Amino acid sequence: MGNPPRPSQLDVKEFLRPILLGLAEEDLDELAQTAVLRFYPSGAVICQEGEPGDAVYVTVQGRVDILKRMDGESEHYLHSAGPGEMFGEMAILQEGPRTATVRAAASTIALQIGKEPFLAVLGRSPSLGVRILVRMTTRLRDTDRKAISDLRQVNQQLTQALRRLERLDRTKADFIRLSAHELRTPVAALMGYAQMMQSNPKVQADPQLRELVAGVVKGTDRLHRVFNSILDVSRVMTGGLEILRTPVSIPVIMEGIVLEFERALEERSLTLERVGLRELPLYPGDTDLLYKVFYHLVNNAIKYTPDGGRITVTGRAMEPPDLGPCIEVVVEDTGVGIAPQDLELIFEKFYRTGETALHSSGTTKFRGGGPGLGLAIARGAVQAHGGRIWAESAGHDEENCPGSRLIVQLPLVEAS
């Protein structure tokens, strides 16, 4: 590159003449007289984003990079300015703070022209304003082209990453499904043997042995439920849920669920109230899947409602414009509630709110443990019926317990 020219070696007026072509001599003289030659070592910041624009610059020697600050501390490269190119004029023209940072990419010499003389000359020379606008338009066009090219490249990378993740997700789902299926078979056999032992007269006659066998049955039953849930969610993940539609009574389904949770509700002094369910029409759906939907919703309400709380299951027929005739079932509780950022995440597989597993391993205990699959299964089953499910809550608060509402809408007419 050679040694940087000293101020005495540079004829500023003649240097600016081709850059500001057509500018009147007196205006050129004014800018040349006010211009100051500045030297910047490599990496030095010449203009800082957010600072007021008090000068424009023209690169004499070297090169500068124009950078935009992104989230955090990262910077995005916009473009460079080499010898004879102007930079820093945008903030002056917009009368606002600088929108980018300019940093010396190498040892750089630049002419610095103050804001006031630059604006005075610009006001007397419309042709200079036009040339600056043309230069800025060209720069923006080049920046847009680069941004589009970068975006296209990023999209390609994201597409490739998504495809890899989809393959990994399918592989994971296959592994989970096969593992759960293989494990469920011996667990089912163990359950059968444990139940046979439980009904044996000798076991019934021995209180200690009876309690031990009851614990084996209870633990084995829970294992069996976990494996069934894993198989259900694997079918949801792979789109393998099959709907066998028959006339389904929602009140009858709920009656079975209440009976299943009767002991847990009594132990924790929870009140479960049903409103309007008997007025619901028969629903053309899959009995087994719908049972799982409302089982998991009620189980979730029990898990996150403190002892002595209330759970209300409300049903009604309705006709939203975008869904048509449908039934709506709302499971509402007086529990700890759901944080706004978790309202959608709770339906993701393996997602659990808070430090659930640290509190208890029982799924009906307050904030009890579990694999975090219930609401994912419920959403998959509802969507397989053409319906929708979502959560509402004022927020998460373990002291004031604002509660939450899980809403299910199921269309009465099957989508064609």
User: 322-331: string of b/e by CB count within 10 Å (b at 16+)?
Assistant: ebeebbbbbb
Domain count, the chain: 2
Say if residue 415's pLDDT is above 80: no
* 151 domain residue, yes or no: no
pLDDT band at 148 (very low <50, low <70, confident <90, very high): confident
Q: Which contacts qualify for 405-408: CB closer than 8 Å, 24 or more apart?
A: 405/330, 405/331, 405/332, 406/297, 406/300, 406/301, 406/330, 406/331, 406/332, 406/375, 407/328, 407/329, 407/330, 408/293, 408/294, 408/297, 408/328, 408/329, 408/330, 408/331, 408/378, 408/382
pTM above 0.85, yes or no: no
Domain containing 21 — which CATH number?
2.60.120.10
271 lies in the same domain as 400 = yes
- For the ranges 56-60, 260-264, 286-290, 412-416, which has the lowest average pLDDT? 412-416
Say if residue 143's pLDDT is above 70: no
Percent of the chain with pLDDT over 70: 80
Contacts of 30 (CB under 8 A, 6+ apart): 117, 120, 121
pLDDT at 22: 79
* 141 domain residue, yes or no: no
* 55 domain residue, yes or no: yes
- For the ranges 14-18, 190-194, 283-287, 289-293, which has the lowest average pLDDT? 190-194
pLDDT band at 358 (very low <50, low <70, confident <90, very high): very low
* 316 domain residue, yes or no: yes
pLDDT at 68: 84
* 131 domain residue, yes or no: no
pLDDT at 229: 64
Domain containing 276 — which CATH number?
3.30.565.10
d(CA 56, CA 87): 6
105 lies in the same domain as 252 = no
Point out the domain boundary residue: 124, 154, 178: 124
d(CA 391, CA 374): 14
* 397 domain residue, yes or no: yes
pLDDT at 167: 79
pLDDT at 186: 78
Give the C-alpha distances (Å, rounded to integers) separating 121 from 53, 117, 136, 308, 404. Answer: 17, 6, 18, 80, 66
Question: Higher confidence at residue 415 or residue 176?
Answer: 176
pLDDT at 259: 94
Point out the domain boundary residue: 67, 91, 124: 124
Residue 374's domain comprises 241-411
Give residue-wise pLDDT tens across range 306-318.
999 999 999 999 9
261 lies in the same domain as 396 = yes
* 132 domain residue, yes or no: no
Point out the domain boundary residue: 124, 143, 165: 124
pLDDT at 409: 96
Question: Higher confidence at residue 362 or residue 236?
Answer: 236
* 368 domain residue, yes or no: yes
Chain Cα centroid distance, residue 30: 56
Q: What is the mean pLDDT of the chain?
A: 83
Give residue-wise pLDDT tens across range 79-128.
888 998 888 888 887 777 888 899 999 999 999 999 999 888 888 877 77
pLDDT at 271: 95
